[in-house]
Amino acid sequence: MVSGCVDCGRCALACPTEALSVPGFDITPTTSGMISIDCWRVPPRHSPSGAMRVPCLGGLSTAVLAELTAEAEGRPVALLDRGFCARCQAGGSKHPDAHPAETVIDAIQRLLEDCGVAPTTWPRLVALPLPATRMVKGMGEPLLESRVSRRALFTGQALRTSQPASGPRAAPPAQTTGLGRQRLLAALQRLSAAEQPLPARLFPSLTAGSDCADHGICASACPTGALTGYADDTARGLHFDAAACIACDLCTRLCPEQALTLDGSGETATERTPQRLTRHAIRTCPECGAEHSNPEPVCPACRRDRDFARSAFLAFGRQPPASSPQPDAGEAGS
Amino acid sequence: MAKWGMVIDLDKCTGCQACTTACAMENNRLPGENWQDVLFYHEGTYPNVKLMWFPRPCMHCENPSCVSVCPTKATYKDPDGGFVLMDYNKCIGCKYCQVACPYGVRFYVDEKAVVQPDIRGVFPSETDRQWDPPYKGPQDDPSRGIGIQPHGVVSKCTFCYHKVSKAPKGVADLDEDIPELKEYVPACVRVCAPKARFFGDLDQPNSNVNKMIADKRGVRLKDETGNKPQVYYLSGGATASVPSLRSMSDSDKG
């Protein structure tokens, strides 16, 4: 972290792959009394006894709030609004009209409502104003001048790239993707009445149209691993796990064929267990012998070369031979 | 200053791939990753099938889109001969140029080998180069993209810069039939058995290549992209001499 960081934890909240984590948000509720969450910038002596303290209320995730509600067993969870967020350097001053935790509270309240949890136990903001002069300073200085300039960043990257890689690459860290999502689902399941399914809004519906050409761009871009590619002996395609999907819409936006449709509103019924979304039979390219799953006979590389050569012959005013009485299967598939 | 260009007569090309092989030998290319290729494809469905082919080197454009997009200026237009060259020392392997090239003639070979088994395992390199073939070309100039391709960079046809740039000043055409010039002729041109390829200076009005382009209406591919290739293709006129084109031109007459 650069020295300009104020540990508010909102980067971790926004990160779809959960690659970032900020310490201070793993909190466990007190055993008795009201459950209240306070900000680090409130002096400890002003916090109610037993209050849990986090770096910033805006960094609390729905998973943490759902777990707290489940642990609280009926006691309300109060997020203390001290009224000085607008003057805090942790981004509050950028959005003075809303409390930083408002979006997350809205989301968790909607989910709890869908789960049939009584409104009295929902997490909520509780106003407990404190003069802004009491706000703790020194949670990090906005040392803008010490940040890496854009030019220096790229120059450093270019130098690193030009060096030959030495030694084996370090192993990637253990997989963390989807942990927060699993925690949210588990906590909501505990809160839900027995036998009642979780709200449909948690399981986005993704459908693939017939235009899908099995590029696999969507699967390679999916930040949570909800959409992955599979391959067996005869076919390959996409594998979708609605429970891991966060409806970020990246797959539908990146699809070059615009073949994917996503509905995150919960209105479309969907399978909640992992499913195979598409299936493309593997075939052998008649030109180069490569195995591919293109809808037409030739593989994508040969198709590109063929289209190039065909366009070149067209440049001489020559149409492709029209002598073939049968329709060209390759053309029909493209 | 010369502006070297190539003329390829499609009516003479027989698709023998001698140019491809010569390029692979000259530039120590990995199997299947040749800078110059003859594209083969089929038109129609069985039993009405025609085999078509099309030779495709780098076009060495006057206004190359690969140069425009290169973030590190690793690929550049050589001002002395009009070559489009690569500086392996500057390339960061981002592959923008591969996407930008309308002709598909840029090569990044650090992925799965096209031809199995992977020959890089047979002749492993101890340097940053892709492989260590038993025969290596005597020329090695990473700043111009000549020599065995290193890891993590994109490579491309050099128009045989290491030969052409040594040609005597002021020569209009590099013809492999002239004994004193044949060492300066690009490998693909020199080996072309049906003599479908010609190489010369496009800046000299009297050069043979300029005459052919004018007389036989040379065509630049994908001219609508504004790249202005320095490789011209000839086809048409009388009945095509290439069997694959003959019936097409016959039907054109009708």
B249: helix, strand or coil = helix
Partner A contacted by B222 (CB < 8 A): yes
Q: For residues A207 and A287, what is the distance between their CA atoms, to the nearest angstrom?
A: 32
> Would the ipTM clear 0.85, i.e. be above it?
no
> Do residue B248 and residue A321 have CB atoms under 8 angstroms apart?
yes
Q: For residues B229 and B6, what is the distance between their CA atoms, to the nearest angstrom?
A: 10
Q: Which residues of A touch B42 (CB under 8 A)?
A: 286-287
Please state the rounded mean pLDDT for residues B162-186.
93
Q: Which helix (H) or strand (E) holds A275?
A: strand A275-276
Q: Quick: pLDDT tens for A34-91.
A: 788 888 888 888 888 888 888 888 889 888 888 888 888 778 888 988 888 887 777 6
- The closest alpha carbon to B197, from B10, B2, B4, belongs to B10
Q: Which residues of A touch B248 (CB under 8 A)?
A: 318-319, 321
Residues contacting A172, CB < 8 A, separation 6+:
none
Measured between CA atoms, how close is A177 to chain B, in angstroms?
27
Q: Do A39 and A89 meet the contact criterion of CB atoms below 8 Å apart?
A: no
> Do residue A328 and residue B43 have CB atoms under 8 angstroms apart?
yes
Q: Which residues of A touch B251 (CB under 8 A)?
A: 321-323
Other Cβ atoms less than 10 A from the Cβ of B131: the count is 17
> Do residue B251 and residue A321 have CB atoms under 8 angstroms apart?
yes
Nearest to A323 among B93, B104, B247 (CB): B247
Q: For residues A143 and A2, what is the distance between their CA atoms, to the nearest angstrom?
A: 9
Q: For residues A207 and A205, what is the distance between their CA atoms, to the nearest angstrom?
A: 7
Computed on alpha carbons and rounded to an integer, the radius of gyration of chain A in Å comes to 27
Sign of CA dihedral A174, A180, A185, A189: positive
Q: Quick: pLDDT tens for A281-293.
A: 898 888 888 888 8
pLDDT recorded at residue A161: 59
Measured between CA atoms, how close is A239 to chain B, in angstroms?
24
Do strands B84-86 and B106-108 pair parallel, antiparallel, or not at all (unpaired)? unpaired
**DSSP assigned state of B151:** T
pLDDT recorded at residue A179: 77
For residue B39, what is the nearest residue in chain A, using CA coordinates? A305
Partner B contacted by A326 (CB < 8 A): yes
The structural domains of chain A, ordered by start, are 1-156+177-201 (no CATH), 203-281 (3.30.70.3270), 283-333 (no CATH)
Q: Quick: pLDDT tens for A123-178.
A: 888 888 888 888 887 554 444 444 566 777 777 766 665 655 555 555 655 555 67
Among B34, B36, B42, most A C-beta atoms within 10 A, so best to mutate, is B42
For residue B103, what is the nearest residue in chain A, using CA coordinates? A308
> Do residue A305 and residue B245 have CB atoms under 8 angstroms apart?
no
pLDDT recorded at residue A177: 64
Q: Do A62 and A112 meet the contact criterion of CB atoms below 8 Å apart?
A: no
Q: Which residues of A touch B249 (CB under 8 A)?
A: 318
pLDDT recorded at residue B89: 94
The structural domains of chain B, ordered by start, are 4-253 (3.30.70.20)
Q: For residues B4 and B204, what is the distance between their CA atoms, to the nearest angstrom?
A: 10
> Do residue A286 and residue B42 have CB atoms under 8 angstroms apart?
yes
Partner B contacted by A308 (CB < 8 A): yes
pLDDT recorded at residue A142: 43
- The closest alpha carbon to A161, from B105, B28, B109, B74, belongs to B74
Q: For residues B50 and A334, what is the distance between their CA atoms, to the nearest angstrom?
A: 19
> Do residue A318 and residue B245 have CB atoms under 8 angstroms apart?
yes
Please state the rounded mean pLDDT for residues B186-198.
95
> Do residue A323 and residue B40 have CB atoms under 8 angstroms apart?
no
First to last CA, chain A: 50
- How many A/B residue pairs have CB atoms within 8 Å? 86
Q: In what order do the strands lie in the sheet with A52-54?
A: A52-54, A35-39, A77-81, A124-127
Q: For residues B200 and B208, what is the distance between their CA atoms, to the nearest angstrom?
A: 7
* Beta-sheet strands, E only, within chain B: 4-9, 37-43, 50-56, 75-77, 84-86, 106-108, 154-156, 197-201, 231-234
Q: Quick: pLDDT tens for A111-123.
A: 888 888 888 888 8
Q: For residues B125 and A164, what is the distance between their CA atoms, to the nearest angstrom?
A: 13
